[in-house]
Amino acid sequence: MGRELALLLLKKGARVAIVDIKESSMQETAELAGETRSHLSTHLLNITDKTRVFNLPKQVIEVHGAVDGLINNAGIIQPFIKVNELAFEAIERVMQVNFYGTLYMVKAFLPYLLERPEAHIANISSMGGFVPVPGQTFYGASKAAVKLLTEGLFSELQDTSVQVSAVFPGAVETNITSNSGVDVPGAGAEAESSFQALPADRAAEIIINGIEKNKFHILVGKDARFMHFLSRLAPKRAAKLIYKQMQTLLD
44-89: pLDDT as tens digits: 999 999 999 999 999 999 999 999 999 999 999 999 999 999 999 9
85-132: pLDDT as tens digits: 999 999 999 999 999 999 999 999 999 999 999 999 999 999 999 999
Look up the CATH number of the domain holding residue 170.
3.40.50.720
What predicted TM-score, i.e. pTM, was given to this entire model? Answer: 0.91
Domain span at residue 178 reads 75-250
Rg (CA), the chain: 18
Evaluate whether residue 225 is within a structural domain.
yes
Cα 145 to Cα 5, 124, 152, distances in angstroms: 23, 11, 10
- Whether 139 is a known active-site residue: answer yes
Evaluate whether residue 219 is within a structural domain.
yes
**The total number of structural domains that make up the chain:** 1
Evaluate whether residue 203 is within a structural domain.
yes
Evaluate whether residue 202 is within a structural domain.
yes
- Say which of 104, 112, 139, 243 is annotated catalytic: 139
Q: Hey, is 118 helix, strand or coil?
A: coil
Evaluate whether residue 63 is within a structural domain.
no
Evaluate whether residue 234 is within a structural domain.
yes
CA 140/CA 43 separation, integer angstroms: 28
Contact 227, 246 (CB under 8 A): no
Evaluate whether residue 52 is within a structural domain.
no
Evaluate whether residue 132 is within a structural domain.
yes
